[in-house]
Amino acid sequence: MAQIEPSDKGGKKKKGAQKKMQIHVDFTPMVDMNMLLITFFMLCTTMIKSQTLQIVLPTNEEVKQEQQAQAKASEAITIILDTEYGDNGKPLVDAETGKTVHHIYYYEGVADTTFQTTNFLREQQFIGNVNRQAQGIRAILREKNKAVMEQYEILKQQWRNKEITKEQFDELAKQNSNDSTKTRPVVVIKPGPNCTYEGLICALDEMQINQISRYSIELPTHTDTLLLQEFERRNGRTIIRPTVR
Amino acid sequence: MGKVKIKRKSTLIDMTAMSDVTVLLLTFFMLTSTFLQKEPTIVYTPSSVSEEKVPTNNLVTILISSSDKSGKLENAASVEGKLFISFTGDADSTFSSEKIRGMMLEEAVSIYNDQHKNAPVRLTNQQVAEFTKINMFGVPFSVLPEYLSMSITDRDKFQGDLTQPKVGIPIDGNKNREGRLNEFQIWLKAIYNVAQRINNEQCEGLDAEQRARVQNLYGALMRQGKGIAVKADKDTPFTVVELVFDNLQTMKLNKFSLMTALKSEDEPTQ
């Protein structure tokens, strides 16, 4: 490992003169060991930290009907979430995109129990953005929350142009989404019996993306089932699948 | 003509520089690394656009196990929905993880014994000390003494086998906060009580810095909803997660966070 070599500078050596020694230390084992340690640390560490999504649920205590804040029918939009399952009992994954297939059925206003309106319940999907344009359910929610989103885009532009700081932007965006003078929708998210956790998170994400400050998570009611059945009848498709679990 | 003498060159490469570089890299990894916490089961969290980071201290994590993904089990859903809890305290010693865990355990066991007078759980000091070292646990109270007497490897093996009925904190649909609580609710009540007690009692006679720390802990657990994080797999049915949400609501801990991975706004789902 460490060698001491006599220096071999040519020429004759004087008798009695001390030999000059060169010291070579071989660092190869040291490097080997370091590499091993690096590998260990690289495998054991998490570089990516998880994110969190904050959520506030109402209390479970029974609230009297009169005390409940009733949303205006024109502002309400209800979305029913459903996830398709494959034959193996696992959520179905789209072969093309590699993503789980979620279906969204939504209606605006109060549920139409007379089933007279055509296309009362409509179907959508989580598509995200295509060429920076909102698609699918996002486009519908954005349209509903237009007043807030217009101001939000202006704020975003100001932030991009460095006219306001990130903190100011956050504060103003929050004020904007809670601005009661604007027409804002109230979204009721109803995860169906087959909906996965991912479906719910996607729906909550849409709320955040579209700056919707008023939303709630509820379980589907009997009326919702009837609406889905009506949808099946009109479109000649089976959309209510047996509950997987 | 004299012979041309071919000089023999040594093939030794100077590794000093290489060693310098590796040591630098090593230092970088050592300083930036946060170790993966051992969890009894692996879940893949769904992705979201939320950019808020998971806090590293003052956090209660509730892990919900997913159904079997290896395909080895006949009934994949049998291991689904098992609950595990982990308590993380402050990085500072005032409210270290060990101290918080000890307080939570003491409180939870006393609530449990109060409700199950004919079958109380007794823990020795050593078992309590063992508990303060465990990151994530999920066993019913009745199994707790046995679990805490095991060696670390046995404990991991025991907890890792989710098919056992003894693994996972029992939970049901009880909605009565004052009545007989299920075991998950007992732990939640312990969190609630400990946070209240720390806030009420320990604020007196502390300097400003310590008081700020108490406020931090209390605020995280009770008010801002940053102190309780629910971690579940993206393919877990909502009904399983909903049961946990419902229990949290019953125990008046209705502000909490959901653990997610990051994605961009353009993507529809993960």
Pick from A46, A54, A90: CB nearest B235 = A90
Q: What is the tens place of the pLDDT at every residue in B49-64?
A: 888 888 877 888 899 9
The reply to whether residue A201 touches residue B22, judged by beta carbons under 8 angstroms, is no
Q: Tokens for A104? A: 């969204």
Using H for helix, E for strand and C for coil, what is the string for chain B? CCCCCCCCCCCCCCCHHHHHHHHHHHHHHHHHCCECCCCCCCCCCCEECCCEECCCCCEEEEEECCCCCCCCCCCHHHHCCCEEEEEECCCCCCCCHHHHHHHHHHHHHHHHHHHCCCCCCCCCHHHHHHHCCCCEECCCHHHHHHHHHCCHHHHHHHHHCCCCCCCCCCCCCCCCCCCCCCHHHHHHHHHHHHHHHHHHHCCCCCCHHHHHHHHHHHHHHHHCCCCEEEEECCCCEHHHHHHHHHHHHHCCCCEEEEEEEECCCCCCCC
B242 touches chain A (CB under 8 A): yes
Measured between CA atoms, how close is A104 to chain B, in angstroms? 13
Name the residue ranges covered by the structural domains of chain B.
40-262
Q: Which of B80, B105, B184 is nearest to B140 (CA)?
A: B184
Q: Which of residues 12-31 of B touch A (CB under 8 A)?
A: 12, 14-16, 18-19, 22-23, 25-26, 29-30
Which chain A residue is nearest to residue B35, measuring alpha carbons?
A45
Q: Look at residue B105 in the predicted model and tell me its pLDDT.
A: 92
With bands split at pLDDT 50, 70 and 90, how would you rate the model's confidence at A223?
A: confident
Sequence-separated (6 or more) residues with CB below 8 Å from residue A37 = B26
Measured between CA atoms, how close is B49 to chain A, in angstroms? 6
Measured between CA atoms, how close is B15 to chain A, in angstroms? 5
Q: How far apart are CA B32 and CA A42, in angstroms?
A: 10
Q: Look at residue B24 in the predicted model and tell me its pLDDT.
A: 93
Residues of chain A found within 8 Å of residue B241, distances taken between Cβ atoms: 197, 200
Pick from A136-140, A148-152, B40-44, B217-221: least confident: B217-221
Measured between CA atoms, how close is A194 to chain B, in angstroms? 7
Which chain B residue is nearest to residue A193, measuring alpha carbons?
B239
Q: Which residue has the higher pLDDT, B265 or B239?
A: B239
ipTM attached to this prediction: 0.80
Q: Tokens for B213? A: 């720390």
The reply to whether residue A31 touches residue B234, judged by beta carbons under 8 angstroms, is no
With bands split at pLDDT 50, 70 and 90, how would you rate the model's confidence at B36?
A: low
Pick from A54, A59, A194: CB nearest B257 = A54
Residue A8 has pLDDT above 80, yes or no: no
With bands split at pLDDT 50, 70 and 90, how would you rate the model's confidence at A32?
A: very high
Q: Look at residue B270 in the predicted model and tell me its pLDDT.
A: 42
Alpha-helical (H) ranges within A12-116 are 28-44
Q: What is the tens place of the pLDDT at every residue in B179-230?
A: 888 999 999 888 888 888 877 776 666 677 777 777 777 776 666 667 888 9
Q: What is the tens place of the pLDDT at every residue in A185-196?
A: 889 999 988 888
Average pLDDT of the residues of chain A: 81
Measured between CA atoms, how close is A106 to chain B, in angstroms? 17
Do B34 and A50 meet the contact criterion of CB atoms below 8 Å apart?
no
Q: Which of residues 250-269 of B touch A (CB under 8 A)?
A: 250, 252, 254-262, 265-269
Q: Look at residue B166 in the predicted model and tell me its pLDDT.
A: 86
Measured between CA atoms, how close is A64 to chain B, in angstroms? 17
The reply to whether residue B269 touches residue A102, judged by beta carbons under 8 angstroms, is yes
- What SS3 state is found at A78? strand
Q: Which residue has the higher pLDDT, B144 or B224?
A: B144
Q: What is the tens place of the pLDDT at every residue in B101-110?
A: 998 899 999 9
Q: What is the tens place of the pLDDT at every residue in A144-201?
A: 888 888 898 899 899 888 888 888 888 888 888 888 888 888 899 999 888 889 999 9
Q: Look at residue A147 in the predicted model and tell me its pLDDT.
A: 87
Name the residue ranges covered by the structural domains of chain A.
71-143+184-245, 146-183
Q: What is the tens place of the pLDDT at every residue in A79-100?
A: 999 888 877 777 888 877 778 8
Which chain A residue is nearest to residue B26, measuring alpha carbons?
A38
Q: Look at residue A85 in the predicted model and tell me its pLDDT.
A: 83
Average pLDDT of the residues of chain B: 83
Which chain B residue is nearest to residue A210, measuring alpha carbons?
B265
The reply to whether residue B266 touches residue A128, judged by beta carbons under 8 angstroms, is yes
The reply to whether residue A55 touches residue B255, judged by beta carbons under 8 angstroms, is yes
Q: What is the tens place of the pLDDT at every residue in B162-178?
A: 888 888 899 888 888 78
Residues of chain B found within 8 Å of residue A196, distances taken between Cβ atoms: 234-238
The reply to whether residue A27 touches residue B18, judged by beta carbons under 8 angstroms, is yes
Residues of chain A found within 8 Å of residue B33, distances taken between Cβ atoms: 41, 44-45
Q: Look at residue A61 in the predicted model and tell me its pLDDT.
A: 67
B99 touches chain A (CB under 8 A): no
Average pLDDT over residues B76-103: 82
Q: Look at residue B159 in the predicted model and tell me its pLDDT.
A: 86
